[in-house]
């Protein structure tokens, strides 16, 4: 598949603006910077052909990143080969502790928490990105936060 000039320009602009934010988001959902970079690379590949046809390339890209992150976790026999979550080391012990707790959460909770508290998306927007009902988002947020409270005791 060869990209036309318009697609290439659009893709380039999208890449400039969104690549790093998407890596950061993917990192927060997957726990691994290495995985995040791979996923975002894959997401741009998938978005490339549609970049001039979708109404909201940024939103489309984000949804693609979220879906790829989720699908990676679902790949049977594959998950254990993925780079595991990063153990980080800052000079803020509470941050290190919280990150460790985040990494222990199931992906479904980790994803909604990242979209809510990092991306500042509303529950409706998260539901749209994850393809689930707002009520599901609400309950995952609730459970995720409850698990974090337990996890950092």
Partner 1 sequence: MSRRQPVEDLLRRTYRVVADLPDTAIVARTVPDARPPARPRHRRQGVLVTAVVLVAASVGVGLVLAGAGSAPVTRKAAPPASPHRKAPVTGTTGAVTVPNDTSRCSPTSSPGGPAANLSMAGTEVASGTIDGQAWTLYSAKGQTGADGIENGGLVTGGRAYGLCPGYPNPAELQLIDAGPKGLIAGVVGYPGLAKVQLSQSTVGTFDVGSSLPSPFVQVVEGVSFFIGTLPKSACDYPALELNTTSPGVSAEHNLGFGPCVPDQIVPISQSQGIWQLPPGQFPANFGSASLGAGNEAGNTAADNGAADQNSACAPTTEPSSSGAPAATLMSTATEVAHGTVAGQAWTLWSAKGQSGANGIENGGLVIGGRAYGLCPGYPNPAELQLIGAGPNGLVAGVVGYPGLATVQLSQSTVGTFDVGTPLPAPSVQVVDGVSFFIGTLPASACHYPALELNTTSPGDSAEHNLGFGACTTDQLVPISASQGIWQLSPGKFPANFGGDSVSPGSAAPATGAGSVNVPDDTSGCAPTTDPSASGAAAATLTSTATEVASGTVDGQAWTLYAAKGQSGANGIEDGGLVIGGRAYGLCPGYPNPAELQLIDAGPDALVAGVVGYPGLATVQLSQSSVGTFDVGATLPGPSVQVVGGVSFFIGTLPQSACDYPALELNTTSPGVSAEHNLGFGACTANQLVPISASQGIWQLPPGQFSANF
Positions that interact with partner 1 (CB under 8 A): 1-3, 8, 11-12, 15-17, 19-21, 24-25, 27-28, 32-35, 37-39, 41-42, 44-45, 48-49, 58, 72, 78, 80-95, 97-99, 102, 113-114, 117-118, 120-122, 124-125, 145, 148-149, 152
- Choice between 92 and 133, CB closer to partner 1: 92
């602009």: which residue's tokens?
Answer: 13
> Which whole-number Å values give the CA distances from 11 to 3, 25, 36, in the listed order?
9, 19, 19
33 versus 70: smaller Cβ distance to partner 1 = 33
Q: In whole angstroms, how close is the CB of 34 to partner 1 at the nearest point?
A: 3
* Sign of the dihedral defined by the CA atoms of residues 63, 65, 70, 71, in that order: positive
Closest by CA position to 30, among listed 74, 81, 73: 73
């Amino acid at each position: 598949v060869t990209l036309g000039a318009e697609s290439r320009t659009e893709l380039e602009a999208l890449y400039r603006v969104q690549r790093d934010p998407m890596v950061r988001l993917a990192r927060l959902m997957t726990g691994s910077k290495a995985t995040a970079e791979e996923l975002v690379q894959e997401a741009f590949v998938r978005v490339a052909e549609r970049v001039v046809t979708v109404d909201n390339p940024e939103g489309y890209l984000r949804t693609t990143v979220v879906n790829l992150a989720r699908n990676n976790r679902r790949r049977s026999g594959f998950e254990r080969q993925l780079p595991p979550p990063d153990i980080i080391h800052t000079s803020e012990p509470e941050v290190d502790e919280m990150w460790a707790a985040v990494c222990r959460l199931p992906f479904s909770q980790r994803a909604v928490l990242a979209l809510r508290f990092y991306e500042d998306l509303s529950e409706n927007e998260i539901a749209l990105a994850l393809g689930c009902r707002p009520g599901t988002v609400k309950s995952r947020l609730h459970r995720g936060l409850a698990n974090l409270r337990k996890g950092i005791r």
